[in-house]
Structure 1
Amino acid sequence: MNPAEFETLSATILVAIFLLAAALGFVMRETRFCTMGAISDVVYLQDWGRVRQWAMAVGVAMLGFTALALWGGLQVGDVLYASTRLLWVSALAGGLMFGVGMVLASGCGARNLTRLGGGSLKALVVLLVMAVAGFATLKGITAVARVRWLDGWQLEFGTLALLPELLARFAGWSVAASRLWLGLGLGGLLILLAFNPVRDAQRSRGALLGGALVGLCVTVAWWLGGRAAEVAEHPQTLEHVYATTYSGRIEAFSFVTPVAHTLDWLMFFSDSSKVLTWGIASVLGMVLGSLAHALWRRDFRWQGFADTRDLARHLLGAALMGMGGVTAMGCTVGQGISAMSMFSLGSFVAVTGIVLGAALTLKRLAALD
């Protein structure tokens, strides 16, 4: 591929992921898709409606990733989350921090992006602080603590730390068979569980459709990142890469590190080394999609903090989300849907931490009120 063709491909992929993220932001805002909201509904109201919505999204994404891995030519080993090591302490500790933070900050990174599109200045502050904390945990002062105290605790498997690969290794199956049965079994089970009856059938149908569309958006992102963006030989380095991704590997949706990279790109825009990437385009698309929805619904409203206590709580939550999201290598979308759709062991550990941290914080706040 010559340089001109590579530039054309990169521009096409960036436009595509921007539009796909805009669709995701529109759907999330329309259907109130929010992991923190789902956990709070269970803790406070014993309402499992939005948990079923999340289950639908994960189930659809699992089936989609399985199809792409088996028949779509997607190279599982090239995915960002594919590793032979499980950083279990980082995943658990980062998940706990993120779970606590998203409760204090009134939602995860994706939720705050959709709230920003609806006019929330609170969300803008949360995203800025989360970006700074996230970047510091990537390369700054808290990165030192992360590497020194957390990342050293790891399990080495000798094969990819993904359920299909491990099942194939210990059960004697082929990887393809393991992936097929796990995809159909677990993905199908989550979809079936999502269809449990609820009181409001019409609201349930809308929520489940929203979950299915979120899962479909993640699936399309896997195809864009893993097939459409694949370049056999980079025109300059001659390496096998995936165009526009920051890591050079296959990426889908995640909204902590990309928010940090977006702030870095905006701050150093004139620096030629700071280029527009997959993650940045997805962040900008999420905001535009939610803005389009707010204008369509005519419910765009400027919102600010109620008082200094409200501000302090959101600042702390944003910092915890930034540190936790980077430490766990993902958020409720990155680990909770994207990585989980490929059966990453780290995603199950991280999501356990997120749910536990959020539930304990919600119960603590309820006790204080």
Structure 2
Amino acid sequence: MDLLLLIETLADRLGEASLAALFGLATGVTFGIAAQRSRFCLRAATVEFARGQLGDRMAVWLLTFSTAVVWVQMAELSGLMHRADARMMAVPGSWSGAILGGLIFGVGMVLARGCSGRLLVLAATGNLRSVVSGLIFAVVAQMSLSGMLSPLRDTLAQLWVTTGGRNMDLLVEFGLPDWGGLALGLAIAAIALALSRHNQISAVRLVFASGVGFAVALGWVLTYGLSQVAFDPVQIESATFTGPSAHTLMFFLDRNAILDFDIGLVPGVFIGAMLAAWSAGEMKLQAFDDTATMRKAMIGAVLMGFGGMLAGGCAIGAGVTGGSIFVGTAWLALFFMWVGAMATDLLVDQRGAQLAT
């Protein structure tokens, strides 16, 4: 039985909405397990880089990013997905949103000591700091999507948008062949593996790091397959945490909310990370160290909620998921997340440490 036939059979039995949520759950559990065991974190990678290091966090991030590109591009070449049909590619993108939102998100990511995806993974291990920050992030994301912050977000996003009614496909824009994305992913993976060997990262951790990239590809393939057999339109999407966090929050607050991929994704990540931490004996309650740390984390969560929605995705959604299909604004947002995070580490954390001594 081929994949589309299997998905069609499941859709007939479970219903399209329930199956979409189930696909989100499967993607989330895979992501949560892999992210917890690999300690994948963009914030940690940017901090290492800002301090002139190419350590294990940088190696893990590069391997995750590159394997996401490899898996997704292989799926594209195999006909298991079509990136041009993905929602973030098929709608206009915002260059101004990517720049401003990326910068804001990067600042918030360092202040909160983790991106939105990392906060969700840590919350599942008993980190109460991440629980508080994650809830604030979700509320502000919802405010930025359709609440009191949405007019400001819309104004900033409309300053500079892509032309032609679609986002920019970087592979098409630069005239690369169909296999160009796969080749680039393999090249980055080779660099990541060399860096991993230099840092003596265990093979198990490398497998889990590549598992995060696989989870991104899994989401793309499953939602694309469902879109091909569903009667109603289905968004082709994968792992991201800005919009889904807001949607999940509203799902539990609105009795009329419906099931979709997002509603399965966020609980799935939490469940997967919790199972991984429990099996490894890493469940541990942790609270804020002091009021200064709490204040920074709360401010960071606010900035990530607004910045992620403005940028069109978080460090995972834009930085890995959007990057894996070569969405122009996603790559730009990722670049400015790095800029914002590195500048914040230099001006806040490193300078603060120097003043303390």
CA contact (8 A) 1:53 1:210 kept: no
Letter of the aligned partner of 2:352 in structure 1?
L
1:37 aligns with 44
CA contact (8 A) 2:85 2:236 kept: yes
Asked if residue 263 in structure 1 is aligned to residue 246 in structure 2, the reply is no
Distance between the aligned counterparts of 2:251 and 2:211, measured in 1?
30
Match of 2:18 among 4, 7, 11: 11
TM-score scaled by structure 1?
A: 0.87
Matches within 5 A, 1:118-267: 118-157=125-164, 160-168=167-175, 178-197=176-195, 202-234=200-232, 241-242=233-234, 249-267=235-253
Alpha-carbon distance change, 128 to 201 in structure 1, aligned in 2, over 3 angstroms: closer
CA contact (8 A) 2:138 2:305 kept: yes
SS at match of 1:141: coil
1:317 aligns with 300
SS at match of 1:161: coil
SS at match of 1:180: coil
2:3 aligns with none
CA contact (8 A) 1:52 1:208 kept: no
More deviation, 348-357/151-160: 151-160
Deviation at 1:179, TM superposition (A): 4.9
Q: String of CA shifts for 1:53-72, please: whole Å, max 9, x gaps.
A: 22222222222222322332
SS at match of 2:265: helix
Distance between the aligned counterparts of 2:237 and 2:196, measured in 1?
35
Asked if residue 367 in structure 1 is aligned to residue 356 in structure 2, the reply is no
Structure 2: any 5+ residue segments left out of the alignment?
Answer: 1-7
Distance between the aligned counterparts of 2:199 and 2:108, measured in 1?
32
Deviation at 1:211, TM superposition (A): 2.4
Alpha-carbon distance change, 276 to 51 in structure 1, aligned in 2, over 3 angstroms: same
Alpha-carbon distance change, 104 to 158 in structure 1, aligned in 2, over 3 angstroms: closer
Alpha-carbon distance change, 211 to 143 in structure 1, aligned in 2, over 3 angstroms: same
Distance between the aligned counterparts of 1:84 and 1:21, measured in 2?
25
2:4 aligns with none
Deviation at 1:157, TM superposition (A): 4.6
Distance between the aligned counterparts of 1:290 and 1:101, measured in 2?
23
Distance between the aligned counterparts of 2:113 and 2:32, measured in 1?
17
CA contact (8 A) 2:22 2:261 kept: no
CA contact (8 A) 2:60 2:206 kept: yes
Match of 2:314 among 328, 331, 350: 331
